[in-house]
């Protein structure tokens, strides 16, 4: 439940870092924290059910890709 709250706040918070505040650096920090939270969730879910852990793999791949895009944008502009 805590992860869902963090995830929903980080989606809107990360978007506001990136778009409203125009700060790709803070958005990158935020998305890396979200990536860490997803990896921890996968680790803990896998203890209970391997299937539950594997179902989160596409999500972690998508967030990793978004992190790469954010980092690339930040490094090319700053």
- Tell me the per-residue pLDDT of 64-77, one tens digit each, with 9 for 90 and over: 999 999 999 999 98
Q: What is the C-alpha to C-alpha distance for residues 55 and 26, in angstroms, rounded to an integer?
A: 28
Average pLDDT, integer, range 37-49: 95
Global pTM? 0.74
- Tell me if 43 sits within 8 A of 77, measured CB to CB: no
Query: Domain residues for 6?
Result: 2-77
pLDDT of residue 42: 95
CB atoms within 10 A of CB 21: 10
CA neighbor of 65 nearest in space, from 23, 20, 34: 34
Neighbours of 56 (CB within 10 A): 16
How sure is the predictor about 22, in pLDDT bands with cuts at 50, 70 and 90? confident
Q: According to the model, what pLDDT value does residue 26 have? A: 83
């Amino acid at each position: 439940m805590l992860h869902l709250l963090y995830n929903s706040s980080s989606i809107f918070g990360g978007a506001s870092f990136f778009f409203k505040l125009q700060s790709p650096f803070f958005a990158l920090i935020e998305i890396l924290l979200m990536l860490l939270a997803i990896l921890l969730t996968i680790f803990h879910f896998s203890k209970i059910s391997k299937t539950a852990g594997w179902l989160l793999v596409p999500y972690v791949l998508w967030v990793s890709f978004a992190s790469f895009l954010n980092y690339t944008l930040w490094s090319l502009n700053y």
